[in-house]
Amino acid sequence: EAQVTQNPRYLITVTGKKLTVTCSQNMNHEYMSWYRQDPGLGLRQIYYSMNVEVTDKGDVPEGYKVSRKEKRNFPLILESPSPNQTSLYFCASHPAGFMNTEAFFGQGTRLTVV
Partner 1 sequence: AQTVTQSQPEMSVQEAETVTLSCTYDTSENNYYLFWYKQPPSRQMILVIRQEAYKQQNATENRFSVNFQKAAKSFSLKISDSQLGDTAMYFCAFMKQRSAGNQFYFGTGTSLTVIP
Binding footprint of partner 1 on the chain (CB under 8 A): 30-31, 33, 35, 40-45, 48, 50, 56, 88, 90, 92, 94, 96, 98, 100-103, 105, 107-108, 110
Q: Residue 58: helix, strand or coil by DSSP?
A: coil
Residue 36 Cβ vs partner 1, minimum distance, rounded to whole Å: 11
How far, in Å, CA of 103 to CA of 92, rounded? 6
Nearer to partner 1, 15 or 101 (CB): 101
Shorter beta-carbon distance to partner 1: residue 48 or 64 = 48
CB of 85 to partner 1, least distance (A): 18
**Residue 91 burial (10 A CB sphere; 0-12, 13-18, 19+):** buried
Cβ 54 to partner 1 shortest distance, Å: 8
Q: With 0-12 CB in 10 A as exposed, 13-18 as middle and 19+ as buried, what is 88?
A: middle
Nearer to partner 1, 19 or 103 (CB): 103
Bridge pairing between strands 31-38 and 87-94: antiparallel
Nearest residue (CB) to partner 1, 72 versus 110: 110
